[in-house]
């Protein structure tokens, strides 16, 4: 049976019906793009990448107490993940005041590492870190229905990409194991790298914040094709969904018992889903299981 972790109903039927028609298209046109945070894995109470970065900021603040008097180091030293989450929510509602402060700290957190050293730190983080409230390793926080959807699309000739506001170099070390998506099909936010002494070394200079209207630009830049299937969950995914010529799926977080219940940062997307007839997947109603 197709998509066993999806409950039978209008959402599952809409996906299956669309794919049934899409198989008549040339394989090269069957491009699907997926946001990551809140679409493929959990994003509350804070983004998984923020946990990784906050730990680094806290170490820096402990080594230099003067840093602990200002953000984002003060929040990191206090373990205040709420400040980080609110900064991102404010961004999705048009206020980048805290995001700029946050970005300044994050961009310098791993400056000077080779890309291999950075990947090793990411892998070490995932080997030991767990979700603070769900009591699961982060590597077990991927959504089973969405991973099934990736496999279902691939079985029907789709090529699937991750297109996320999350860091490219944070996702790439784990996307193959978690989702079966290789590094070359991960499009994310990035900082600059420079070739020095035979290695690629990270700089503190931003390249792309892969969010909002930047997502379609990066899709064209990296993929060179317009998707016919897209999945997201927040206001930052609106333009990616609008750029898609085909099926638009929006994940609604409405299951406080099994995951989380929130709409903050997704209000505009949910309104557009109604007016533009996007398909909304309710975690509570459409998913038989949330995690594997």
Of 63, 88, 109, at which residue does a domain stop?
109
Domain housing 273: 10-41+140-286
Looking at the structure, tell me whether residues 146 and 32 fall in a common domain: yes
Q: How far apart are CA 13 and CA 21, in angstroms?
A: 12
> Are 161 and 252 members of one domain?
yes
Same domain as 82, residue 27:
no
Whether 184 is covered by a domain: the verdict is yes
- Measure the CA–CA gap between 265 and 227, rounded to whole angstroms: 24
pLDDT for the residue numbered 107: 76
Collapse the DSSP code of 252 into the 3-class scheme (helix H, G, I; strand E, B; otherwise coil) and give the result: strand
Both 66 and 17 in one domain: the answer is no
Residue 104 lies in a domain: yes
CATH of the domain at 235: 3.40.50.1000
Q: Are residues 23 and 53 in the same domain?
A: no
Query: Quick one: pLDDT band at residue 1, thresholds 50, 70, 90?
Result: low
Identify whether 164 is part of a domain.
yes
Residue 128 lies in a domain: no
My answer on whether 96 and 64 are in the same domain is yes
Average pLDDT over the chain, rounded to whole? 93
Structure tokens at 25: 């298209």
Of 66, 89, 109, which one is at a domain's C-terminal end? Answer: 109
d(CA 168, CA 119): 11
Is the confidence at residue 106, as pLDDT, over 80? no
Question: Among candidates 112, 89, 74, 58, which has minimal Cα distance to 268?
Answer: 89
Q: Is the pLDDT reported for residue 17 higher than 90?
A: yes
Tokens of 78: 């206090």
Average pLDDT, integer, range 212-220: 98
Residues 66 and 204 in one domain: no
Question: Are residue 234 and residue 153 in the same domain, yes or no?
Answer: yes
How many separate domains does the chain show? Answer: 2
Mark whether 208 and 261 lie in a shared domain.
Answer: yes
Q: Taking a C-beta distance cutoff of 8 angstroms, is the pair 134, 80 a contact?
A: no
Q: Residues of the chain with pLDDT > 70: what percent?
A: 100
**How many Å apart are CA 147 and CA 158, to the nearest integer?**
14
pLDDT digits (tens, 9 = 90+) for 20-63: 999 999 999 999 999 999 999 999 988 999 889 888 888 888 88
Shared domain check, 234 and 219: yes
Residue 141 CA to residue 177 CA, distance in Å, equals 12
Q: What does the pLDDT look like over 165-211, one tens digit per residue?
A: 999 999 999 999 999 999 999 999 999 999 999 999 999 888 988 99
Domain assignment present for 118: no
Residue 95 inside a domain? The answer is: yes
Query: CB under 8 Å to 163, separation ≥6 — which residues?
Result: 33, 34, 35, 187, 188, 210, 215, 218, 219, 240
Q: What is the mean pLDDT of residues 257-261?
A: 98
Helix, strand, or coil (residue 99)? helix
For residue 133, is it within any domain? no
Please tell me the pTM assigned to this model: 0.92
Q: Is residue 67 part of a domain?
A: yes
What would the mean pLDDT of 6-21 be, rounded to a whole number?
A: 98
Clarify whether residues 37 and 55 are in a common domain: no
The region of weakest confidence among 87-91, 163-167, 219-223, 253-257 is 87-91
Is the same domain home to 20 and 74? no
């Amino acid at each position: 049976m197709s998509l066993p972790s999806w409950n039978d109903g209008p959402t599952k039927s809409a996906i299956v019906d669309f794919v049934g028609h899409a198989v008549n298209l040339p394989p090269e046109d069957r491009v699907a793009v997926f946001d990551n945070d809140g679409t493929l894995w959990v994003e509350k109470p804070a983004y998984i990448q923020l946990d990784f970065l906050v730990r680094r900021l806290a170490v820096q603040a402990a080594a230099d107490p003067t840093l602990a008097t200002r953000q984002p180091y003060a929040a990191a030293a206090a373990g205040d993940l709420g400040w980080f989450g609110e900064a991102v929510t404010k961004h999705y509602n048009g206020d980048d005041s805290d995001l700029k402060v946050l970005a300044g700290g994050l961009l310098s957190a791993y400056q000077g590492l080779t890309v291999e050293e950075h990947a090793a730190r990411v892998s070490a983080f995932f080997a030991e870190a767990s979700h603070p409230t769900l009591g699961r390793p982060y590597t077990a926080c991927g959504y089973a229905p969405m991973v099934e959807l990736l496999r279902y699309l691939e079985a029907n000739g789709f090529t699937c990409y991750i297109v996320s506001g999350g860091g490219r170099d944070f996702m790439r070390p784990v996307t193959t194991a978690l989702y079966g998506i290789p590094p070359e099909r991960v499009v994310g936010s990035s900082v600059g790298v420079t070739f020095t002494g035979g290695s690629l070394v990270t700089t503190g200079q931003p390249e792309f914040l892969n969010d909002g209207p930047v997502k379609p630009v990066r899709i064209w830049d990296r993929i060179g094709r317009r998707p016919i299937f897209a999945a997201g969950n927040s206001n930052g995914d609106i333009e990616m969904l609008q750029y898609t010529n085909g099926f638009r799926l929006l994940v609604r977080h409405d299951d406080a018992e099994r995951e989380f219940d929130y709409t903050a940062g997704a209000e505009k997307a949910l309104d557009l889903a109604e007016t533009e007839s996007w398909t909304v997947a309710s975690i509570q109603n459409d998913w038989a299981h949330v995690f594997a």
